[in-house]
Amino acid sequence: MSNSTLQVDSHFDSTTLRVGASATGVFRMASLEIWPELSFSFAKSRVNTQVVAAQAYGLTANNLSLAGGNVEMTQLMFMPQIKWPLGDGRDGAAVANFALSPRLTCRATRGVGDGRDCGTGAALGYSAASGNGLTLFNATVEFDNVADTKNGSLTLNIEHNF
């Protein structure tokens, strides 16, 4: 990193551990299915001490360091996914599903900016398979609002097998 006065150079190593688990089931009803899911995840990142070299005003310092530290995040999420079938695949017809997934997420962070927050989110999804099963299409829109963090995503996937 540099500008006209200061030039700073650094290298550092970091390690991250992530583990998670989820449990789900299926409740079948006449015209829809409910797939409740409870998931848990834990992540820990460690940034070792960073060696820093700096130059400014003709002076050089190669003996600087910056302590990295640790950051941990624990997350618990409950998401009941509701699926509506839009085709049954009879007589070579396409099979499709529409899904709505509201969710409640709680996070705890330790390290820089400790905190505990809960928030809500949702996902809308559509998936379809051609009658012969060779073409698959998936689309998902997701949004989450936990504490001051808002995340959104759009995923499109088309697959054709030969």
DSSP per-residue codes, 21-44: EEEE--EE-SS-EEEEEEEEEEEE
Query: Is pLDDT larger for residue 20 or for residue 94?
Result: 20
pLDDT category, 64, cuts 50, 70, 90?
Answer: confident
φ and ψ at residue 113, rounded to 5 degrees: 75, 65
- Please tell me the distance from the alpha carbon of residue 50 to that of residue 122, in angstroms, as a whole number: 39
Q: What is the pLDDT of residues 2-50, one digit of tens each?
A: 677 777 777 677 889 999 999 999 999 988 999 999 999 999 998 877 7
99's tokens: 């899904």
The pLDDT of residue 72? 92
Q: Is 86 left (phi over 0), alpha (psi -120 to 50) or beta?
A: alpha
pLDDT above 70 (res 79) = yes
The pLDDT of residue 2? 66
The pLDDT of residue 93? 64
Whole-number percent of the chain with pLDDT over 70: 92
Domain residue extents for the chain: 6-160
Query: Is pLDDT larger for residue 135 or for residue 50?
Result: 135
- Please tell me the distance from the alpha carbon of residue 80 to that of residue 99, in angstroms, as a whole number: 10
